[in-house]
Structure 1
């Protein structure tokens, strides 16, 4: 209510006055505080008195001052206001209001306790109709739900709920299974792929999927994201034809064993041609797919997904999913720290908290690392300086600053599944570091480190680590959608992250293609040759061997500097059933359901 904000403005103007202690003030003085008329102020005071927030005893006559007594603290009113904002699905404004209450940190604890009850699983019953709702906070912003334009994990997860691809990859990244296509075949040259679509698959707007939508989706991807993620795959599509409404033939320029794996990614999601063309640039906010949920609305950062009853693989158990996103400025606010809703992604739990949950599953990891821009005419063109800088980055100190049960050292994109924490490194001796840097020819020059805004905190920590070793870093932030462009070529170092999930091979090829942009000619040729070998090799183990050879060569020349890996965990409350994990531990909303009683395991 706006009147609460008026009360807060008045209450804050008299910070030394306690509740239930009368204060002498005139109506005009109060009107000046709110920048309103005398008449409106009188009406506001009457309303506040009716709400029992204050008492107001007016005094008539020149020189007589009225008596105002506050009955409600500003913390109580702010909490009520924040709660009402949340009930109106405006979490952002509620958090902004609480940010203004810096003098009352306990207010955030009270708000967190209340807010925790708003998230998780809820059932609403009207007559005999029961509606099952899952509501959870996502500490990210959602910029786009267009498969051709997504950049972040939260966006990727929601796209997986709204769209489908021709085929799917199993969580281990080993088996590709039918999805929108019930079968496929490839010719002897492995360049002509033919897919046969299921009949009767519906888009959210009611039209049936046909082969022209598949052709349109891939052509659209080439047009909208010519340099996007995995563009090296779809750029090689030479032609497509649709002999009938359930058959599509795709001709590649050359053999590519990664092509079928690419079709399992949400980049290759199938979109409806008619809806895309009608929506134009608004399709990112009004997406239409064939997935188990459809987008019902998006207001104040709350994305509402409603069950799509005619889904071709069966109706989901949940009726609605509400994803409450947090803007970058609010990611450390209470909602991002909740521990009482039933499904939590990418969480860190204490031993005590973990014991209260049915299970905590470790399901994938991200890996942070630095690559060197060797094309820049500067210090790092010298291999000795690259080696000295790599040596100077104190990983032990870095892990201390990061700290956490999910953060570990790493020196490969192919770590063993149960590989223990790296114990070989010890804290660097600064004298030895300085000698090595000096001997290599480094004299304290500033190096430019480029990364995306989402990794700014990681870059700042790395800056602190390097400063300790006498290497000043200047951080340059480049938007994710521009990071593969020319802007980063002015940097000395590039801070990257890669998700090691079922699409690891695709992601690594994408990384090495990106590294070719700033590699010297001999390394560029090595990468090109190796990537071609990978894309023509049908044997998984032989492909992995080539990947390891690439990594070894890049590490030996100090062009690839590993930093750390982060294990991603998903925790489930005992009431959650039917868990099915996607990439990086995200839950498939279609499969989960809830019990009202705790689960008993034997």
Structure 2
């Protein structure tokens, strides 16, 4: 409401005047503050008094000083204005208002509490139809929903709701299952893969999917994301044939046992050629797929997904999902009660929340540091790398990070991890002496990571500072971190998701690590990766993976930090919970017990 902005401008002009304190002033002086006419100012004062924000006692004559008493605090009016903006689904403007008005921590807390109550499940009656709606916050900015261009978990999750791939993989990562393709086969050399598509699968814009869309999607991925996630998998595609509308034949340059699992990732989602080419660079903001939900709108940071009635696996229970993408730092305090969210991802539930249920997912993230051995500097000395590894006191690091989902870890394969306890860290003075003996002379080392891992980087910086190592943190956008820019750093802070796509993610990681490895190590890793990509036995592949990480640990080129388990908390009123590896729910499967119904 514009009138609130006028009141805030007046209130901000007199910061030393408290509420209920009389102020002698003329109408013209107030008009000058708002850059309006005398007549308009009189009308504004009348309106503000009707709203109960002030008391205005006028005195006749333009030069006579009247009495103004503010009765509404600026915090109250800011909160009301922000709430009204949210009611109009203008979340970004509400958050901008709170920041530009330099609102207090208290008012921001009140707004967050109020905002929390807006999330969760509710129903609306529209005519004769009940609309079931789920609204939830996403503490990220969504940059793109193009499968070829996504970088973050929130974007990835929404892509999973909007798109499908040829195949899918079970949550344990053990079986590849049919999806858009109902069957497939490979030749004896396993370099030619033939997929048979389901008939009648429709895109959101109304056209049936055919083999040309599959060919286009994979060739587009090769063009657009030559250095993207799993690029080594689709770079090996030599040719794609489409003998008919429901048959796709893919020829690989060489055998790749990870190719079929790659097709189960959302990176290999199928997009419609006609719509994609027409949309051009805007496809990521107006995506069209075959998934259980279609994008219906995206205003002011609120992304609206509607159930796609023609979905080939059946329509979902929910009618609409509203994803409110909150900028980083605006998320709800995870330690506070959560009365109305219904579903919370990666939440730490307080003990008093006995009505909520928690599930610890099988997937987890693993944080670690790698050494850039390609860079000339002190870390080319393996003795110094060992001293830095020793200086990274993991026990102290976990204390700084804290959390019931964080644990120490020394492998990407927890089930194969050695049971022997890691040696206790040395005292700080012993570590400092080891650093001196290794030749370290206090040089500043550069630690590079992406902005999302800044908190982890700061904790590592503090642990190193205590041991006498000077770290300079460089935060690089995700695209730059994948490129050559990171090669100027001494240390790189990474994370990898250990879920059903673990093998794909680790291949991607090790290929990235090869870029800053010594030539002999790079060649050795090449040989190991070749064995993995041609090995059909999962146990043998795991053995090669463990051998690679063991060698890198012994060289002190791979420094494990910790693992973080994924948790999802949900209210018992929810039914149909189907949890993906990242701890996200599949919206299609959700339905809710109406209020007042016994949910046990």
TM-score, normalized by the shorter chain, greater than 0.5: yes
1:463 aligns with 2:461: yes
Partners of 2:226 and 2:133 lie apart in 1 by: 39
Contact 1:295 1:306 (C-alpha < 8 Å) held by counterparts: yes
Aligned to 1:228: 228
Q: Is the 8 A contact 2:116 2:332 kept in 1?
A: no
- How far apart, in 2, do the equivalents of 1:510 and 1:65 lie? 74
In 2, are the aligned partners of 1:257 and 1:538 still within 8 Å (CA)? yes
| Matching residue of 1:532 | 530
Task: Tell me, in whole angstroms, the C-alpha distance in 1 between the residues paired with 2:74 and 2:198.
Answer: 60
CA distance in 1, matches of 2:22, 2:448: 59
Counterpart CA distance in 1 for 2:162 and 2:413 is 31
Q: CA deviation at 1:178?
A: 0.2
8 Å Cα contact 1:397/1:427 also seen in 2: no
Once superposed, what is the RMSD of the aligned Cα atoms? 2.0
For the pair 1:114 / 2:114, whether they are aligned, the reply is: yes
Rounded to whole Å, the distance in 1 between the matches of 2:528 and 2:448 is 27
Quick check: 1:108–1:334 contact (8 Å CA) kept in 2? Answer: no
Tell me if 1:575 matches 2:573: yes
Is residue 518 of structure 2 the alignment partner of residue 520 of structure 1? yes
TM-superposition CA deviations, 1:316-372 (whole Å, max 9, x none): 1001000000123x435669977231011111122222x220343334211110001
Displacement of 1:213 in angstroms is: 0.3
- Between the aligned partners of 1:110 and 1:103, the Cα distance in structure 2 is 11
d(CA) in 2 for partners of 1:507 and 1:327?
A: 27
Aligned counterpart, 2:56: 56
Query: Do structure 1's residue 380 and structure 2's residue 376 form an aligned pair?
Result: no
Counterpart in the other structure of 1:184:
184
**Deviating more after overlay: 334-343 vs 495-504:** 334-343
Moved more, 423-432 or 118-127: 423-432
Q: Secondary structure at the match of 2:95?
A: helix
Q: Which residue of 2 aligns with 1:551?
A: 549
The CA deviation string for residues 237-257 of structure 1, in whole angstroms up to 9 with x for no partner, is: 011100000000000011110
> Following the alignment from structure 2 to structure 1, what is the Cα–Cα distance between the partners of residues 43 and 560?
65
Any idea what SS the aligned residue of 1:386 has?
Answer: helix
* Cα separation, 2, equivalents of 1:35 and 1:338: 45
Q: For the residues of structure 2 that align with 1:279 and 1:594, how far apart are their CA atoms?
A: 37
Cα offset for 1:581? 1.1
1:566 CA drift (Å):
1.1
Change (3 A) 1:113 1:560: same
Q: What does residue range 161-180 of structure 1 map to in structure 2 within 5 Å?
A: 161-180=161-180
The SS at the match of 1:507 is: helix
Structure-1 residue corresponding to 2:562: 564
Q: Is the 8 A contact 2:26 2:63 kept in 1?
A: no
Aligned to 1:43: 43
Q: Deviations over 1:8-57 (max 9, x none)?
A: 22123333434333221122222233333333322211221222222212
Alpha carbons of structure 1 residues 32 and 363: separation in structure 2 relative to 1, 3 Å = farther
- Stretches of structure 2 lacking an aligned partner (at least 5 in a row): none
Q: Which residue of 2 aligns with 1:126?
A: 126
Offset at residue 483 of structure 1 (A): 1.6
Residue in structure 2 matched with residue 145 of structure 1 by the alignment: 145
Say how many residue pairs are matched: 599
Q: Does 1:506 align with 2:504?
A: yes
In structure 1, runs of 5+ residues without a counterpart are: none
- Aligned to 1:364, the other structure's residue is in SS state strand
Deviation at 1:568, TM superposition (A): 1.2
Residues 419, 225 of structure 1: alpha-carbon distance in 2 compared, 3 angstrom cutoff: same
With normalisation by structure 2, the TM-score equals 0.96
- Provide the rounded CA distance (Å) in 2 between the counterparts of 1:104 and 1:491: 39
SS in 1 for 2:161: helix
Against the structure 1 CA distance between its residues 214 and 70, is the aligned structure 2 distance closer, same or farther, given a 3 Å change threshold? same
What do residues 500-537 of structure 1 show as CA deviations (whole Å, max 9, x unaligned)? 11100000000000011011111101111111101111
The normalised TM-score by structure 1 is 0.96
Distance 2:14 2:130 in 1: 49
What CA distance in whole angstroms lies between the structure 1 residues aligned with 2:334 and 2:288? 29
Looking at structure 2, the residues matched to 89 and 73 of structure 1 have their Cα atoms a distance apart, in angstroms, of 25
Correspondence for 1:30: 30
Is the alpha carbon distance of 1:537 and 1:12 closer, same or farther for their aligned partners in structure 2, counting shifts above 3 Å?
Answer: same
CA distance in 2, matches of 1:466, 1:223: 42
